[in-house]
Amino acid sequence: MKNHWWKILAVLLLLYAIIMGLFVPLKSGILGLTPREFKTDQKITTHVKTYNTDFTKGVDGSSIAYIKINDKFKLYADLVKVVDKNTLALDFTLPALLPSIQKKWPYTIVVNDKKHGAFVRPDAIVLEQAALNLDAAISNWPKQIEKQLLFPDELNFPFRPILYESIRNTFYHVPLWFGMVFLLFGSVIYSIKYLRKPNHNFDYRAKSLTSIAVLYGMLGCVTGAIWAKGTWGTWWTFEEIKLNVSAVAMLIYIAYFILRSALVDEEQRARVSAVYSIFAFVAVVLLLFVVPRIATNSLHPGNGGNPGFGGEDLDNTLRMVFYPAIIGWALLGFWLGQLHYRYSILAERLNDEFE
């Protein structure tokens, strides 16, 4: 049992990732407004369709909603009414002039109550003013009492339009790629060990870890394709640099196995594939983590100059599950790799005995 603690850790971490990843609810969010375009200088009513909410018990006094014109100016709703379980009706009195330099512009809408927290939807409501007059708009802006936003003390994952619940795939799709890189790194360590001291076991370990890494990479491609189909609307696109580089990374490691099978002499095969694996690892890390940042326009997070691990794509509640998930999937990979390795050395020993 002493040598198996990391396998138990893998199971526990994966259980944690699956249970937390599936059961922590999303934050409430705004799906859309109907109608969403208005001219100013009138009283309006708009219906807000929300996600993961329950207004059947009515809205309490804490419910507020406002249109965010800019950082300084907010327009609070006169009244927040419940239409049905997930729909609110908001009444606004739009002044003739808005403190904005845009004639027609989509503004952010914010809804808040104690039970559901604050939900924000950028570009949700389009307001069109007849004339532009910033000074008059500011001086005529209705006096309103600033209200504090209230938040429930609950653990929630962020609500992101288009993604919705599939944001949970952060714990199942992304760690496969991290796990793949860890496995390949392990393979490089054994390759270096082999080059320093030619022992066949090191070669077999490197090969087994690489096989599992390729399995993880392929699963990463398949799971990414499923996720892309539901969010981008396509299984695969060659316009995404991240997808291209991961395909190239896969090809590099498929070439590793072709290279191995082409070499008959055992020592030569072990030496050549060890050197190849070191260079391949450097190439794959550059491809996966450096090249995509050159892209300026990308749907896939983690591209375009900055890593994607910040902002709303990965907030602290996601991190709580995401980092353990990475360790869990990586350890599971090492476990599978160990099984494959143990098979390999057994097979080799038997072949030596019988031949």
Partner 1 sequence: MLDKIATFASKVGNPKIIVLAFSLLVIDNGLFAQNNISFHTNGKIYLVIGVLAAIFIGIIGFLVYLERKLNKLEKQINNNE
The footprint of partner 1 (CB under 8 A) covers 18, 21-23, 25-26, 51-54, 163-166, 168-169, 172-173, 176, 212, 215, 218-219, 222-223, 226-227, 229-231, 332, 336, 339-340, 343, 346-347, 350, 354
Cis peptide before 161 (omega within 30 of 0): no
Nearer to partner 1, 22 or 282 (CB): 22
Contact 114, 152 (CB under 8 A): yes
Nearer to partner 1, 105 or 236 (CB): 236
What Cα–Cα distance (Å) separates residue 55 from each residue in 16, 88, 114, 285?
31, 8, 12, 49
- Residues 317, 166: Cα–Cα separation, whole Å: 15
Give 163's contacts (C-beta < 8 A, 6+ positions apart).
231
Nearest distance in Å: CB 231, partner 1? 7
Nearest distance in Å: CB 337, partner 1? 10
Nearest distance in Å: CB 185, partner 1? 20
Nearest distance in Å: CB 1, partner 1? 22
- Give the DSSP per-residue string, 224-274: HHHHHHHHTS-S--TT-HHHHHHHHHHHHHHHHHHHHHH--SHHHHHHHHH
**Three-class SS state of 41:** coil
Nearer to partner 1, 18 or 275 (CB): 18
Nearer to partner 1, 238 or 354 (CB): 354
Nearer to partner 1, 168 or 207 (CB): 168
Nearer to partner 1, 69 or 167 (CB): 167
Give 299's contacts (C-beta < 8 A, 6+ positions apart).
232, 240
Nearer to partner 1, 121 or 340 (CB): 340
- Residues 256, 276: Cα–Cα separation, whole Å: 7
Nearest distance in Å: CB 39, partner 1? 31
Contact 58, 88 (CB under 8 A): no
- Residues 190, 207: Cα–Cα separation, whole Å: 9
Nearer to partner 1, 82 or 219 (CB): 219
**Cα dihedral sign, 201-206-209-215:** negative
Of the chain, the end-to-end C-alpha distance in Å amounts to 36
Nearest distance in Å: CB 223, partner 1? 4
- Residues 267, 269: Cα–Cα separation, whole Å: 5
Nearest distance in Å: CB 114, partner 1? 15
Using CB atoms within 10 A of its CB, is residue 208 exposed (0-12), middle (13-18) or buried (19+)? buried
- Residues 156, 267: Cα–Cα separation, whole Å: 55
Nearest distance in Å: CB 276, partner 1? 23
Nearer to partner 1, 141 or 335 (CB): 335
Nearest distance in Å: CB 335, partner 1? 10
